[in-house]
Amino acid sequence: MWQNSYSSILASILSIVIYWLIRDRYRVGNLNGKHVFIMGCDTGLGNSLAKWLDKKGFCVIAACATGKGGQELQACSSLSLKTVNLNLADSNSIARAVVFVTEQTAGKGLFGLVSNAEGSAPVAPTDCLTIEDFHSVLDVSLLGVIEITLKLLPLLKKAEGRVINLINAKGLMALVGGGYSLSKWGMEAFSDTLRIEMQHFGVKVSIVEHGFFKAEVVNSDIEKYLFRLWNSLIPEIRDSYEEKYFVESQRSSVKRLCDYDLSNVIKCMEHALIAKYPRTRYRAGCDAKFFWLFLSYAPSCLSDMLLRITFPTQADSRRPVRGVLINV
């Protein structure tokens, strides 16, 4: 009797797995000419995805923070790829970008919105930061993304499109001070809420959680920021930390988990766009699938211990302090 029950359970689980694998392979037909709006296309993941989708026949509208970034992207893409300048911290810039997207889609609606608020987000111990440091990250990586998403929802509803939010898997854990972790946790919550509310309109929302990856970041600018932050600290706080900790330890900590292959992230974003039944969450990179996911479910005492081992701390400080410089 028990053997029959176990066999039935195993058969049911196997059937569900096979059904999921078959369902996951279904693709949307007739993708040529569908419009996709991608943010953060100057460099990194946004730039790579824009080129990839352009070759696939999508009508890509790439948002770049600088005119130079847009010109370089257009120079190596087809004529159907369009660029627009976008500053997510500026509501006027967001409004102009929305008008541009509306004109380009010409009544067809927007099939895909890929939010990739990419940039350097220096973070440090909380008592070293000001409220302006929090605003500089949250205004772009959270509030700016939410604002432009809200304004593009009518176009997404019209095309029954998709929203893909690219989020660093560090959003699963609060590790460092500053607005970085806050912005990622906020985007997780916003994406979940939006997914539930938009199901009625045929709009699908997916989250792509990626690990650390090698991106084009100017190390000299990062170090200038850190030294400027160090010099601005009051003596009482400065005496609590080591100057070397602000640069060398932060630089080495990311390298321990850094992935040099962006293709895994690109494949996840592509699947979220072209799959008939996109997944709710994608995890790209070994650290995203195993390290950060495990830490998010592990007891706090265990996760704290593992973080102290993985990331450098100050040797002479009575209070161990962790700090990293993260690529958004």
- Residue 327's pLDDT is 47
Active site residue 277: no
Residues in the chain with pLDDT < 50?
A: 216-219, 315-328
- Residue 319's pLDDT is 46
- Residue 132's pLDDT is 85
- Residue 88's pLDDT is 93
Task: Specify the CATH number for the domain of residue 164.
Answer: 3.40.50.720
- Residue 317's pLDDT is 43
How far is CA 228 from each of CA 44, 110, 119, 224, rounded to the nearest angstrom? 26, 43, 19, 6
Domain containing 265 equals: 2-327
- Residue 14's pLDDT is 86
To the question of pTM greater than 0.85 for the whole model, the response is no
- Residue 224's pLDDT is 65
- Residue 222's pLDDT is 57
Q: Which amino acid is at 265?
A: V
Query: How many domains, the chain?
Result: 1
**Active-site position among 19, 26, 180, 245:** 180
The C-alpha torsion from 93 through 96 and 97 to 102, rounded to 10°, is 160
- Residue 217's pLDDT is 47
- Residue 306's pLDDT is 77
d(CA 76, CA 157): 31
- Residue 326's pLDDT is 43
